[in-house]
Structure 1
Amino acid sequence: MVTIKDVARRANVSFTTVSHVINSTRPVSPETAKRVNAAISDLGYLPSEVARSLKSNRTRTIGMIVTTTSNPFFGEVIRGVERACFEAGYALMICNTDDVTDHLVTYMHTLFTKRVDAIVAMTSNASPDFFEKLGQIERVPVVAIDAPPHSVSSVVSDDSILGGRIVADYLAENGFSRIACLSGPAEHPRMIDRIEGFSSALARHGLKLEPDLLHRASLTMEGGRLAARPLLAGPAETRPQAIFALSDVMAIGLLNGIRELGLDIPGDVSVVGYDDIEFAAYTFPPLTTVRQPAIELGTVAANALIDHLDHDRPLPPTIAIEPTLVVRRSVASPSGN
């Protein structure tokens, strides 16, 4: 294995001079630096990142804890985090917890062992227990995505209350009066906010989200598929005219479940999702949804950490990104049903 001393011999300089060239810790003449860099290139020398991190107390590595990388929304957020890390010269380590608190604790200790500089956390459960554990073992700056406010150093999310209002206004103004809601876990902060915004906006139109039309399922495609039957089990005159699914992943499953019941979308029932993941534009029919810019969420979270680490800028307690409605073909105004 090529060492720094091998480079020094090839360049005919001391190994401390090689170190100064590599780490930019002291001015070196252009001619000497050129010889050192030529020797590094000729010998294929790779500086020890471990040694460099011990000197600087930084590894330029960010850890990321997610429920699962197979979730399309999470995948897009990860792309945003990874892109920001790459552009700033940081590496990214990703750990899947499957929303198991014991896994969170284990992975956090693993990331600390690897001496990451900061952590991005994102979970589909967002239970108080998860963030209580996260807070107890937090040793580096943490930015959480879609987490309860003030649960960690900084929280990045969309304005989900506004997102819920946008959907309620859109459906009410297009003539819908019987509207169901398909939610994820009751304790998830974004689910709570979206239902709050949706319900309050419906009330302004003289409508109400009836308790029997609020159905909860797992935040998966299968959860959405299985929700179709209980939501649409009644006769045509009493079943919902539209269903607002609080995530695109559930909405995509719901579209399949509705077709399995022999119903037409949007002829028999309209569907609105939330997130605008890439798949949403390619469902059948293409999904009308609220755009929560996933890649931007990841980029904003990573950049907040990088600015904090590199420039000592304070982490903002909360960062909210405004959602917008994307109208496609899964909604059609009800025809008197």
Structure 2
Amino acid sequence: MASQVAASRPPGLADVAARAGVSHQTVSRVINAHPSVAPLTRERVQQAIAELGYRPNRAARALVTGSSHTIGLVTVKINQYGPAQTMLGLENAARAAGYSLSVSILDDATAGAMREAVDTFVAQRVDGIVALSTYDDAAEALAALDPVVPLVAVQVGGAEDRPAVGVDQETGARLATRHLLGLGHRTVHHVAGPADSQEARGRIEGWRSELLAAGAPVPEDMLRGDWTPSSGYLAGKVLAARIRGGEDVTAVFTANDQMALGLLAALHEGGLRVPEDVSVVGFDDLPEAAYFTPPLTTVRQDFAELGRRGVQLVLARMKGEDLHPEPVPPALLVRSSTGPSPARA
């Protein structure tokens, strides 16, 4: 009976030590990334761990080391592409650094909900907390928190009091606007995101700043959407009607690719060709963007790099280091949805 129990139980520290031919203290040092282990010995222990399928007991490690090797992530509206990809980037970066990611997804970013999520993470003995703070309510809630573990913000679009990292939204919008002006368009119209989105406001600021810097007129009738294709479709219907009414609309920068998708559909229904009649630029670089009709010119956000810098920031704060990462630079990807202004083609 004893042998059956032994055969069925999960492998432990002693089993790894026996397989690798080292002491259990050496195995513990390897698991906790202690620097005093020779490379060949470390490799032998890691091979034994892989062969046996050993999984360290994180709760026991936390009691011994004072660290759970877990980072808490609190976020809202994870159904949107940007926050979802940011979460994946953070999870991959945390795993690469030897940490697991514990996620709390809130329905609303109220101060109470945010505080409860942070308090729960603290009770779970996480080593640090990352908050996705793209909306005003989340930013305001975070500003009121002062947990006992490091708390950093990721993917913010504006000023932030606490340590933070994000993609340079203004530069991305300027790249999109500059590209369209460079094709000879007199001005660029904008379909913005929600008014309470810090990212949307950053993209508005970049669009407006680039137009002013180029001496181009800034359209006063800016349209707004809610990031969804349906809101982009409604904006496209409005723009198509303006064009039919004689308004000079030849270039549109939409604040994300999903709204650009709806916009393209509305322009097509309105008998307008892209890019022959109207050029369109999006933002995000959805995996599907290259397969839109036509393939969409867009601004790419590097969510993997954003996750790496977010984890780097929270790890630095856990060590007491005063790290201030640079914003992640965006990149313009030119495809077939943009072309010369019809007046200059």
Tell me the TM-score normalised to structure 2 length: 0.78
Q: Which amino acid in 2 is paired with 1:252?
A: L
Give the equivalent residue in structure 1 for 2:234. Answer: 226
Q: Residues 263 and 106 of structure 1: is their aligned pair in 2 closer, same or farther, counting only changes over 3 Å? A: farther
Q: Is the 8 A contact 1:77 1:296 kept in 2?
A: no
Aligned to 1:14: none
Letter paired with 1:23: S
Question: Which of 25, 28, 33 in structure 2 is aligned with 1:23?
Answer: 28
Match of 2:42? none
TM value normalised by structure 1: 0.80
Q: 1:116 aligns with which of 103, 115, 126?
A: 126
Amino acid at match of 1:326: L
- Whether the 8 Å CA contact 1:184–1:216 is kept in 2: the answer is yes
Distance in 2 (alpha carbons) for counterparts of 1:248 and 1:43: 46
Measured at CA, do residues 187 and 5 of structure 1 come closer, stay the same or move farther in structure 2, by a change above 3 Å? Answer: closer
Offset from partner CA, 1:282-325 (integer Å, 9 cap, x none):
2221111122222211121112223443x543231x53122222
Match of 1:287 in 2: 296
Provide the aligned length of Structure 1 versus Structure 2: 319
Shift of 1:98: 4.2
Counterparts in 2 of 1:244 and 1:5: CA distance versus 1, 3 Å: closer
Give the CA deviation at 1:149.
5.0
CA 1:286/1:99 → structure 2, altered by over 3 Å: closer, same or farther?
A: farther
2:331 corresponds to which of 316, 324, 331: 324
Partner of 1:33: none
RMSD of aligned C-alpha atoms?
Answer: 3.6
Structure 1 gap ranges (5+)? 12-16, 29-35
CA distance in 1, matches of 2:323, 2:171: 24
Offset from partner CA, 1:197-237 (integer Å, 9 cap, x none):
2222212333222221x111112233222322223322432
In 1: Cα distance, 2:51 partner to 2:177 partner: 65
Q: Which residue of 2 aligns with 1:305?
A: 314
Q: Can you list the C-alpha shifts for 1:258-301, whole angstroms capped at 9, x where unaligned?
A: 33444322233211112223222222211111222222111211
Shift of 1:4: 11
Report the counterpart of residue 143 of structure 2 in structure 1: 135
Find the counterpart in structure 2 of residue 31 from structure 1: none
Deviation at 1:329, TM superposition (A): 0.6
The one of 68, 75, 80 equivalent to 1:66 is: 75
Q: Secondary structure at the match of 2:72?
A: strand
Once the 2 structures are TM-superposed, how far is the Cα of residue 6 of structure 1 from its aligned partner?
11
Match in the other structure for 1:210: 219
Distance in 2, matches of 1:6 and 1:327, equals: 54
Change (3 A) 1:78 1:43: closer
Assess if the C-alpha contact under 8 Å between 1:7 and 1:40 holds in 2.
no
Q: Secondary structure at the match of 1:238?
A: coil
Q: Following the alignment from structure 1 to structure 2, what is the Cα–Cα distance between the partners of residues 142 and 176? A: 45
Cα–Cα, structure 1 residues 94 and 174, in superposed 2: closer, same or farther, change >3 Å? Answer: same
Query: How far, CA to CA, are the matches of 1:178 and 1:5 in structure 2?
Result: 67
Q: Which segments of 5 or more consecutive residues in structure 2 lack a partner in the other structure?
A: 38-44
Q: For 1:95, what is the secondary structure of its paired residue?
A: strand
Contact 1:184 1:246 in 2 (8 A): yes
Q: Distance in 2 between matches of 1:198 and 1:178?
A: 10
Would the aligned equivalents of 1:305 and 1:315 in 2 still touch at CA under 8 Å?
Answer: no
Aligned in 2, Cα 1:301/1:284: closer, same or farther, shift over 3 Å? Answer: same
Q: Distance in 2 between matches of 1:86 and 1:5?
A: 22
Query: 2:123 is aligned with what amino acid?
Result: T
Q: Give secondary structure in 2 for the equivalent of 1:63.
A: strand
In 1, the alpha carbon distance for the partners of 2:216 and 2:113 equals 43
Q: Percent identity?
A: 32
Q: Post-superposition shift, 1:45?
A: 7.4
Task: Identify the residue that residue 75 of structure 1 maps to in structure 2.
Answer: 84
Residue 59 of structure 1 deviates from its aligned partner by 0.9
TM superposition shift of 1:60:
0.7
Q: Is the 2:13–2:27 Cα contact (8 Å) retained in structure 1?
A: no
CA distance in 2, matches of 1:234, 1:82: 45
Q: Distance in 2 between matches of 1:187 and 1:41?
A: 47
Summarize the Cα distance change of 1:260–1:110 in structure 2 as closer, same or farther, 3 Å threshold.
farther
Residue in 1 aligned with 2:341?
334
The 1:173/1:43 distance shift into structure 2, 3 A limit, reads closer
**Pairs within 5 Å for 1:262-281:** 262-281=271-290
Mean Cα deviation higher: 227-236 or 266-275:
227-236
1:169-201: CA deviation from partner (whole Å, max 9, x where unpaired):
221221112421011122433322322222222
Preserved contact between residue 73 and residue 277 of structure 1 (Cα < 8 Å): no
Indicate if the aligned counterparts of 2:109 and 2:141 stay in contact, CA closer than 8 A. Answer: no
